[in-house]
Every structure is written in C-alpha cells, then in structure tokens.
Structure 1
Amino acid sequence: MATLEELRMQLDEIDDQLVNLYESRMQVCREVGELKVNTGRKVFDRQREREKLEAVSAKVSGDFNKKGIQELYEQLMSMSRKLQYQQLVGAGALGRLPFIEVDSLDKSNARVVFPGVEGAYSQAAMQHYFGENCNSFHVRTFRDAMEAIEEGSADYAVLPIENSSAGAVDEMYDHLVEFENYIVGETVIPITHTLAGLPGTKLDDIQRVYSKGVALLQASRFLNEHGNWQQISVANTSIAAKKVLDDQDYTQAAVCSAYAAKVHGLSVLEENINDVPNNSTRFIVVTNQKIFLHDASKISICFEVPHESGSLYHILSHFIYNDLNMTKIESRPIEGRNWEYRFFVDFEGNMADAAVKNAIRGLREEARNLKILGNY
C-alpha cells in the first residue's frame, strides 16, 4: 500500500499535467476570443456551455464526480469568458456605457429638491452637500423628488438610501430601478431624534406620536417604554412636526430633529431618544444626467440573474477576478415574479478604470437587465 508521501507525489505529477493543460486550453481560448472580436460574435453562449457540461459529466462515473466535473468546467469556461471580455475591452468594444466624465458638479447654479418640509433631515443633508444657501425647494415624497429631476424642474435631488441602524431604505432602491435617474454623489449625516410637542405639553398628556416609520423604529426602545402611546407613521419627520403644530393638540407629539422642532415652533420634550447613539443616514445625490466625477470611487449597479443554482455566485465572480472590492449587496423582490429578486451591489472603482470596464462588460453579457445606477 502506498504511503501518504508517495500518494502526494502522484498528485503533484498529475497537477503538473493539469497546469500545462490549463495553459494550453487558455491559449486556445485566447485565439477563440480573437476570432470573436474580429467577427463580432458574442462571448457568452449559454446553450454551448450547457451542452459542454452535459458532455463532460457523461464521461465520468458516480454522482460525486459528475457534480465535481461540472463545477470544474463551469470555472474553466468562466475564466475563458473573462479572458475574452478583456480582449473585447482592449479592442474598444466597451458596450453601452454612455456616462460622461466631468470635473465637478455646478453646485452654485444648481436647483435642488429634497423630500419633506422645512426641517427635514434631507434638507440638512442637502445643505451639507450643496451649502446652506443653495437654490432649493421641497416636495412631499421620494417619488415626487425623483419625478422633479426626471422632468427637469430640479437639477439634483437629495434622498436617503441607508441608515446605520435601520438598514436600507427599500423604497429608494425601487425608485432607482423605475426612474432614469443616476447617482452622482453621497453624504452622511448624524441622525439625532427628539420627542417634540406643543409648548407646555407634558409626557403624561401624550396619546399619539407621529413620525416616519423608520424614525419610529430608531426610537422604538424609548417609545415602547410608554406603551399607551399610539405610534403613527407619516411621510417624513418634519411633516410629523408640522402636523403637531397645525393640529394644536396637546395629546400629539413628533419624533423629529431638534432643528425641525425649532422650525415648527415645538418644544423638545425629550432629547436623544435614539436606540443607537451613533445613528447616521447616508444620502445620495441624484440627477437625470449620465455623468460621473473624474475622482468618483464607488459604483452602484443592479441586475437580475436566472433563478437557478449558482447563478449569483458566477455573477459575483466578476468582482473577484477583476480585484474589485464589493462593499454592499441588497436584494429586492421583482414585482410580478414571486420569490425572484433583483440584486443591488456597490463596489469600489471608477468607470474609467480598466478593471471596472472588464467587470461591467462581463456583467452585461451574463446578468439580466443590468443597470448602472451611478459612479460617485
């Protein structure tokens, strides 16, 4: 019976053969890629790959080996495609990337829209990015803001996309798919909630508390200590403060910022009621122009994949192969298709980078309905 050392020597000899065969295979793949570049043929041939997997699995015995040889050839064909995508990009076949590089945004002459009313956190984010004296107006909802830039009544919109404690703003992800608007910037601001009411209101007077749903969640520990308070969701924290002022009802209070309370003439009844003390929200700056800053360092995309085993794994391999750092992934249900999902990915890079061009070329070929949401 062979010793462990002898068996390992046999494996080393086989591996040397595999390495040589791999290099020979990739050389042939390179020649195939040159033919495809010259003839304009697509790199990804799904039917050809399925037939190849069936053929190689038929040549081995046992379920374990059949599964293993399929996985091995899936990786070999994936590497072949990535090589050929590089060849296409090198030949100038970049695909549909009609984004224009710009040196800066014209913040001084921009008209900016934010959701909510005076005192909204979105207004604070807007002022943080564009300056306190920017030309701005407000609308009621996120959708209204997206429509305003799509139709051209505003140049930019500032909208929340993610909170450090409550997570993603799902509605915004859906709007980014629906509208032909694109992310060109982002800013992060701290979110510090207060409980505000009419001057003279006491905690014992309160029966109903209004705020945006996510703000109620962010202050749930404090609010739940007062189990008799009815929590009612409205479109925005600043709208909640305005409602309390308009109704002139001492049984009502709002979860909002201290600034919103001041704007609407309310008294702060309790400060810093966040469940998590270091709470912050990331806001995106959106426009209807396909532009990106020359020093942009993050790209957001969304895509769908076939509803089958391994499909997401193979798509994400494009980031690994091109040494791109994926910083975030979210999924959202696809309307009208039960239990199927659209994926949203953020990764580091600039659309002028060769690695990004290679990755996007491969993603566009292999994913369904790829959309570049912005480079910022």
Structure 2
Amino acid sequence: MKKEKPRVAIQGIRASFHEEAAFKYFGEDIETIECNSFKQTFEALQNKEADYVVMAIENSIAGSILPNYTLLMSYGFPIVGEVFIPIQLHLMALPGVKFEDVKYVTSHPIAIRQCVDFFYEYPHLKMVESSDTAACAKRIREEQLTDTVAIANTLAANLYGLQILERRIESNKVNFTRFLIITNHETPVKGTPNKASLCFEVSNKAGSLAKVLNIFADQNLNMSKIQSMPVLGKRNEYNFYVDIEWNEMKQYDSAIRQTLKYTHNFNILGEYERYEEQPSTDQFKKPEKRTYIKIKKLGQA
C-alpha cells in the first residue's frame, strides 16, 4: 500500500520561505496546503485538512513573531520539531527584462527592509509591498510584468520561470528564521526529545522568575530562549515562553517537577528534538555554473 504524502499547511503560497522550511524538514515529497494567514494554518490542522503546520516563530534580525505565540496557546497543538533556514533574497524578473527598464520592486515589507542597502543606489525605484515573497514572483509571471522585479528565494525563481538578475541582495548575510513543526496529538514525535517549549506565569513578586531560572541552571538545562507577553486583560501579569535543552531526560523531569511549585498556568507546548544542521555533501561538489546579470551601479559606464 502506497504511503500517503504528509499534508503540510504553510502561510503563503508554494515557493515561499515556509515551503522551503517544509522541504528542509520533511523532504520534497509532501502536499503543500497554501493558507492566507497563520490562523488559517491552525484551522486546517484542526479541521483535519492538514497533518502538520510549519510556522515561523522568530528571525535573527526581526526578532520574535509575537502573535504566533498566542496561536500556540489558543489552539493547544503540540510542537514536534523545529528547523532553521537561511534567508537568502534574490532580485528576479521575466527572462529578457533589463534592469534599466524596471520601475517597481515588489516583495514582503520585511524582505524589502532587509535589502535597503542595495536599493539605496536606485532611489527612482518604487517599492510595492505584498503579503508574500513568492506571490510577487508568481504575479510577475502571470501578468507578464516587464517593468517589475521581485525579491524572493531561489524556489520562487525556479517555480515561476524567472531570471535572477542579482543574488544575495540582503544587507545582512547572516540571517536565519526558525520555524516550528506543529501537529495533532496523535502524531508521534520524530527523534529523541532533548528540547522543550514551555509557557507559564509566575507571581508578581520580587524573585519569582529568578527561582524558576535557578532551577533550570541547577539541573544543568540550557535556556535557549525566553520571551514575555502580557496576559490579556490582566495588569502587570505576564506569560513567559521559554525554550530549554537538556542532555539527560532525568534533568528535565526533575526541573519540571520543581518548577510547578513556583508557577501557575504551566503548559508544555512541545517536547522535541532540537534542530542540528547536518553537513551537506554539496559542499564537496563543484559549484554549479550560474547565469545572472551583474547590475551596474548608477554612474557606471
């Protein structure tokens, strides 16, 4: 019997960074469920229209995506994995388009901001914001726009048949986004859990949070993230979202038992295997021959 492809809900369309993250975690033999919003991805999982959700949670430049923490708490689906991908942004257009004929640049507003240094040399270009990088590439192809370039990833260029005019135009070349893998309660966790995402409240008294953090330290747990958010409708009360990592499960179990004494509304959002980048065999291959146009700066001959 042929195994069914996992159905993975993403915010955005095919060839977006969310699909790139899904490919990196699951491989390319998946069925992508395109959704207009992060909330819609959770609805697809709840309605059994998807088996997994891939959701961005933080970026090394832009920081945490706070509304997505609220979704995690609201729906209660467990985190079963994570993946990091480098954000590499390229300038692309229909084949044959010359850069000097371009009038508009379209992309997600965050992607545009991350390329501000590149476009400083071209003040005549008008920036057009959109909800999704890949959707911009798709629009150029469908509407045959010869005066517009998109900022998107290599997947988008390949899928929508666009020519990359300039590669890696992002201002900061060391830019990563962390994505969470979320599923229903019946799906087993992949690998051996050595990381957990927690959410809890502490009393509004001096030293309350410190007591919890000292427990983690005493049990030799690495706290890789802490994020606070106000509790809706409550003054001076906060939810703390914490990621912790361990080498021995007994250290984690002991820390959780002790932490319960000093917290309330304690939730384990997920226990999963932390992401470790595996060395790629591609690094030993000859670099592929690339064809792209080196854009001239203003004033150059």
| TM-score normalised per structure 2 | 0.78
Give the counterpart of 1:177 among 73, 87, 102.
73
The SS at the match of 2:171 is coil
| 1:277 has 2:176 as partner | no
Please give the alpha-carbon distance, in whole angstroms, between the structure 2 residues aligned to 1:234 and 1:299: 34
Aligned to 2:197: 300
Aligned to 1:160: 56
Task: Tell whether the 8 Å contact from 1:241 to 1:260 is kept in structure 2 after alignment.
Answer: yes
Please give the alpha-carbon distance, in whole angstroms, between the structure 1 residues aligned to 2:137 and 2:189: 36
| Larger relative helix fraction | 1
Give the counterpart of 1:135 among 8, 24, 31.
31
Cα distance change of structure 1 residues 174 and 210 upon mapping to structure 2, 3 Å threshold: farther
Please give the alpha-carbon distance, in whole angstroms, between the structure 2 residues aligned to 1:128 and 1:285: 11
Please give the alpha-carbon distance, in whole angstroms, between the structure 1 residues aligned to 2:231 and 2:35: 27
Structure 2: 5+ residue stretches without partners: 273-301
- Structure 1 position 374, deviation (Å): 0.6
Please give the alpha-carbon distance, in whole angstroms, between the structure 2 residues aligned to 1:297 and 1:114: 25
Write out aligned runs for 1:325-344 (5 A): 325-337=222-234, 340-344=237-241
1:77-116 deviation line (CA, Å, top 9, x unaligned): xxxxxxxxxxxxxxxxxxxxxxxxxxxxxx9653222222
Cα distance change of structure 1 residues 213 and 304 upon mapping to structure 2, 3 Å threshold: farther
Task: Tell whether the 8 Å contact from 1:193 to 1:271 is kept in structure 2 after alignment.
Answer: yes
Aligned to 2:213: 316
Flag the structure with more relative contact order, 1 or 2, with Cα contacts below 8 A and sequence separation at least 6: 2
Task: Tell whether the 8 Å contact from 1:166 to 1:217 is kept in structure 2 after alignment.
Answer: no
Aligned to 1:358: 254
Higher alpha-carbon deviation: 337-346 or 111-120: 337-346
1:251-294 deviation line (CA, Å, top 9, x unaligned): 43221012202212322222111112233322221102175456
Letter in 2 for 1:297: N
Please give the alpha-carbon distance, in whole angstroms, between the structure 1 residues aligned to 2:124 and 2:4: 49
Aligned to 1:97: none
The SS at the match of 2:258 is helix
The SS at the match of 1:153 is coil
The SS at the match of 2:261 is helix
Aligned to 2:283: none
Percent identity of paired positions between Structure 1 and Structure 2: 35
Aligned to 1:348: 245
The SS at the match of 2:211 is helix
Please give the alpha-carbon distance, in whole angstroms, between the structure 1 residues aligned to 2:241 and 2:263: 12
| Larger relative strand fraction | 2
Please give the alpha-carbon distance, in whole angstroms, between the structure 2 residues aligned to 1:236 and 1:323: 41
Please give the alpha-carbon distance, in whole angstroms, between the structure 1 residues aligned to 2:265 and 2:121: 46
Task: Tell whether the 8 Å contact from 1:150 to 1:180 is kept in structure 2 after alignment.
Answer: no
Aligned to 2:155: 259
Cα distance change of structure 1 residues 255 and 154 upon mapping to structure 2, 3 Å threshold: same
Letter in 1 for 2:10: F
| 1:195 has 2:81 as partner | no
Cα distance change of structure 1 residues 294 and 125 upon mapping to structure 2, 3 Å threshold: closer
Aligned to 2:41: 145
Cα distance change of structure 1 residues 252 and 170 upon mapping to structure 2, 3 Å threshold: farther
Please give the alpha-carbon distance, in whole angstroms, between the structure 1 residues aligned to 2:112 and 2:235: 29
Letter in 1 for 2:219: N
- Structure 1 position 208, deviation (Å): 3.6
| TM-score normalised per structure 1 | 0.64
Task: Tell whether the 8 Å contact from 1:166 to 1:218 is kept in structure 2 after alignment.
Answer: no
Give the counterpart of 2:137 among 209, 223, 241.
241
Please give the alpha-carbon distance, in whole angstroms, between the structure 1 residues aligned to 2:264 and 2:124: 49
| 1:221 has 2:120 as partner | no
- Structure 1 position 143, deviation (Å): 1.7
Cα distance change of structure 1 residues 109 and 317 upon mapping to structure 2, 3 Å threshold: same
Cα distance change of structure 1 residues 369 and 117 upon mapping to structure 2, 3 Å threshold: same
Please give the alpha-carbon distance, in whole angstroms, between the structure 2 residues aligned to 1:136 and 1:119: 10
1:342-375 deviation line (CA, Å, top 9, x unaligned): 221111138x923222322333332232221111
- Structure 1 position 226, deviation (Å): 3.0
The SS at the match of 2:260 is helix
Cα distance change of structure 1 residues 365 and 224 upon mapping to structure 2, 3 Å threshold: farther
Task: Tell whether the 8 Å contact from 1:111 to 1:136 is kept in structure 2 after alignment.
Answer: yes
